[in-house]
Amino acid sequence: MANSGSALLDFGPNLTDSTSMNIADTNILDTSLVDAWIVPASTVDHSADEHWVDNIKVMAGNVVGGTGFTIYGVCTLGRTYGKFNVNWVWY
């Protein structure tokens, strides 16, 4: 079974177009494949629908064996703020 989890990707209180967060995992290998995606569920800042209409693109990368990886988020149409739900997995 792959390693997986969820997190809140935080764009902060002011309008911005990008953010990132580190996921710590001491079991990950340099050769591991990682992925992340938006989960349309309400947060304190956004409704489930806003997870779709804010056009947030997420990707995972920067894998460091024994340490973890990074999830990157970009608002592809303008800017956004606050927290969005993401899920992640690595193999």
Reported as a single tens digit per residue, the pLDDT across 28-86 is 999 999 999 999 999 999 999 999 899 999 999 999 999 999 999 999 999 999 999 99
Q: How confident is the model at residue 2 (pLDDT cuts 50, 70, 90)?
A: confident
The CATH architecture of the domain made up of 3-90 is Sandwich (2.60)
pTM: 0.92
Domain extent listing, the chain: 3-90
pLDDT at 1: 52
How sure is the predictor about 15, in pLDDT bands with cuts at 50, 70 and 90? very high
CB burial readout 77-90, b (16+ within 10 A) else e: eeebbbbbbbbbeb
Query: Residue 24 in contact with residue 68, Cβ under 8 Å?
Result: yes
